[in-house]
Structure 1
Amino acid sequence: MPVTIDGKPYHFILDTGAPYTFIDNRSAAALSKALPSKDVPEYFRDYVGGLAVIDGTALKQDQVVYWETRPIQIGARTISSSVPWIGVDLSMFDMSYGSHVDGLLGANAFRQLNWGFDNVAHTLAVWSQPPSTAGYERCAPYEDAFGSSPSLNILLANGNGGPMKIDTGSTFTVSPLDHIQIFKDQGATVEDIGKFSRMSANGVYEVDSYLVDGLHLGDLPIGQLQTFASQEGGGSTLGMNFLSRFDRFAFIPSEMLFCFNARHFTRNDPKPLRLIELSVESGHLLIGPVNLSSDSLPEGLEPGDVLVSVNGKPVEPADIEALRHQLAYTPSGQLELQIEREGTQSTIKL
């Protein structure tokens, strides 16, 4: 989402999975100044020292720089902070999103405003005052706490369940393996669909992926939900593949209400036909990134191959998310990739 700092435009991700605001050190150096350790509240330094917020991987302390904050404007609305920005290297996010990511607006920023999302019109509304709930078909209370993320109560068919955090910074839902086993033990259907490569601030890593069916929001069945496995001990988080099921939804922090309209809420995430990760480097779309294992790629593709076109259409870095979907779900025999490797172009049919 676009924000303004000191009159200049920046690109931040609204990430409720991050407890505080993170900023890329390259961007921060141009608009703020680094703070010495003595100027950072001790409780905050201790708290950040225990964080594992970037796609479930541990935040390394030698990565962190604390930066003096500036007011962040979203349209006419202003977000401020009582604690420093947490500076890290977000270059892996640039590779994953296809454009430069200046920072992550975390849960502390999220709580300061009210947020309305329209998945049909593809718009985001931000209000200082709580909006009327009259235009929404349903509202459900959510939980929140210091250093955490908003969480909804998710049930299984047998009535058991518990809170799952909302992570707007994650494309997919994430659960530790012990939670996935609990889902299975209590009646949910869990299908193992293989390993996926993911990119985080700490590099590239592989995770097991599942299709989980049997979760409910109140009396509404969610349907088949693609879920990545995380490290043991963490909580389960609902990513954008959950939030995309709503036509419209709003978070109202002052009331701790999640309100929504959903004509076709129950839906099944499809099973991917192939696993091809993409990244952006030096303005080019790559198969990979280059340090990805080739074992997970279809025959004929290698990490670092430049993707030139798909089914005859030239590709652009800004299309990376749509291309990921196209590569994963296009039926066999209907996908033709033009790639370049060491200066030579070739065609791969999948």
Structure 2
Amino acid sequence: MIWDNKLFLCISALIFMLLCTEWLHSSHLEEGAPSQSQSYEQPFDTVPLVSVHVAGKYYNFLLDSGVPVVLLDRQLARQVTVPLDTRTLVDKTVYQDLTKLQGTRGAVDPSRFDLIKPVALKLGSFSLVGQDVWVSTDLSPLSEAIGVQVSGILGVDTFRQFSWDVSNEKKVIQITQRPLEVSAFDECIGYSDKYGSQPELLLAMGEQQVLMPIDTGASRSYIAKELVDHLSTEKGALQVNPGMDVVANANGISELSRYVVNAVTLNNQPLGMMEVHEVPDRYGAGMDVLSRFSRYAFIPSKMMFCYSGLKPVDPLPLAYRDIRIKVRDGQITLDYNTVDQLRESSLLNGDVIKQVNGQVYVPRQIETVRNLLKTTPPGKLNLHILRSHQVMQVDL
């Protein structure tokens, strides 16, 4: 959904990156042990969720290149690890700005985060190594947003240890420690990477060349307000996409304005139109960019991004309404909506969506429901909702 982004050079940089990752999408993992091989394959729906072995059990973790280190949900952290004694680290100056954290919506209460001691963690047959510190926080907003229980996040320190080969057609992530063959892809380009940062690709938006960090934890790409203002002056480069999106991030719940950027290109190849969120001073290319390839891969050992089957998105579907939902108690439920948003629909926060146009959707399909609520034309949307133990029909 959206979480919009190190404990690499300083703790404030770490947390700032955590704050910027946007979480909206849904996915689903089958429980059970991954295959023990040198090439671990993980099925996925939309979000890059992988099954991780911690303390004798398997848990759903989000692969998020916009986060610097492993994050655990606070409840799991209390079960498997202990707070970190920062005196054990050589460079203790990285913690001096802990009380000055800044996120996409201003200062963040430091109590939202705890530094914890890393424990043994396995991804398939691979053990994660070289980790000095983890972070724990409340990941329940993420789980509510994507409809799947998420117990942790694998950050860019994990991302750099493997090659990631993703097939959007087969819905499979292949994870290996060996470099991939670039000849297996239509195109390969180098990406920028550095200590304390994340992989970055150069995209063209309008007349601007923008170095966009890759944020696999973001459903939508996001750009800084300064670029929004600049693109607004270029004829045909930007259009407002009416409404606001609710995003769950480290600050809690925030609203972000959305825009459509026209004629986005990568390596002189058109990506088509791209819906973006506006944030004060951050940039990130989310899963909406990566979903445009039939297959893509990140090869950290070569610092290369490879892809095949690029399919530009043009045009984007129109947004007819804003109805905000999350998963609560195993049901897709209205929440975060204002009175004005719901006045004409007769819907209320707390209503449970039982059917959309005669179809039942399970929690892991929440992103499909979001898109139906947003893009179904007026007069074509029929909802069956549960309110106060009664099922009601609502036509919109």
**Do the structures match in fold with TM over 0.5?**
yes
Matched, 1:241 2:241: no
**Residues 1:90 and 2:136 are matched in the alignment:** no
Distance 2:240 2:223 in 1: 13
1:102–1:173 distance in 2 versus 1, CA, 3 Å? same
The 1:214/1:138 distance shift into structure 2, 3 A limit, reads same
Is the Cα–Cα contact under 8 Å of residues 69 and 133 in structure 2 kept in the other structure? Answer: no
Contact 1:156 1:188 in 2 (8 A): no
Q: Helix, strand or coil: the match of 1:214?
A: strand
Query: How far did 1:114 drift?
Result: 0.8
In the TM superposition, residue 187 of structure 1 has moved relative to its aligned partner by 5.2
- Deviation, structure 1 residue 39: 3.8
Contact 2:382 2:393 in 1 (8 A): yes
1:252 aligns with 2:299: yes
Write the mapping of 1:1-350 to structure 2, written as runs, cut at 5 A.
1-39=50-88, 41-46=91-96, 59-156=108-205, 158=207, 160-186=208-234, 189-193=237-241, 194-231=243-280, 233-234=281-282, 236-289=283-336, 292-297=337-342, 299-350=345-396
Once the 2 structures are TM-superposed, how far is the Cα of residue 147 of structure 1 from its aligned partner?
2.1
Contiguous gaps of at least 5 residues in structure 2: 1-49
Alpha-carbon distance in 2 for matches of 1:278, 1:303:
9
1:165, 1:51 → 2: CA distance?
Answer: 20
- Larger relative contact order (CA 8 Å, sep ≥ 6): 2
Report the alpha carbon displacement of residue 49 of structure 1 after superposing the two structures with TM. 5.7
2:7 is aligned to none
Q: How many residues align?
A: 344
| 2: CA distance, partners of 1:209 / 1:76 | 41
CA distance in 1, matches of 2:250, 2:332: 19
Contact kept, 8 Å, 2:273 with 2:312, in 1: the verdict is no
Amino acid corresponding to residue 63 of structure 2 in structure 1: L
Tell me, yes or no, if the aligned pair for 2:64 and 2:216 is still in contact at 8 Å.
yes
1:83-107 CA-partner distances (Å, limit 9, x unpaired): 2110111111111111211111111
What is the CA deviation profile of residues 15-52 of structure 1, one whole-angstrom value per residue up to 9, with x for unaligned ones? 11112221111011111122244345524424766665
Root-mean-square deviation over aligned CA pairs: 2.1
Instruction: Provide the C-alpha distance between the structure 2 equivalents of 1:47 and 1:127, rounded to a whole number of angstroms.
Output: 36
Determine what percentage of the aligned residue pairs are the same residue.
27
Contact 1:91 1:201 in 2 (8 A): no
TM-score by length of 1: 0.91
Q: Identify if the C-alpha distance between structure 1 residues 29 and 212 changes in structure 2 by more than 3 Å, giving closer, same or farther.
A: same
Distance apart, 1:155 and its partner CA: 1.8
Q: Deviations over 1:92-129 (max 9, x none)?
A: 11111112111111111111111011101100011101
Which stretch of the first structure deviates more once superposed, 9-18 or 276-285?
276-285
Instruction: Give the Cα separation in 2 of the matches to 1:216 and 1:253.
Output: 23
TM-score (norm. length: structure 2): 0.81
AA aligned to 2:92 is E
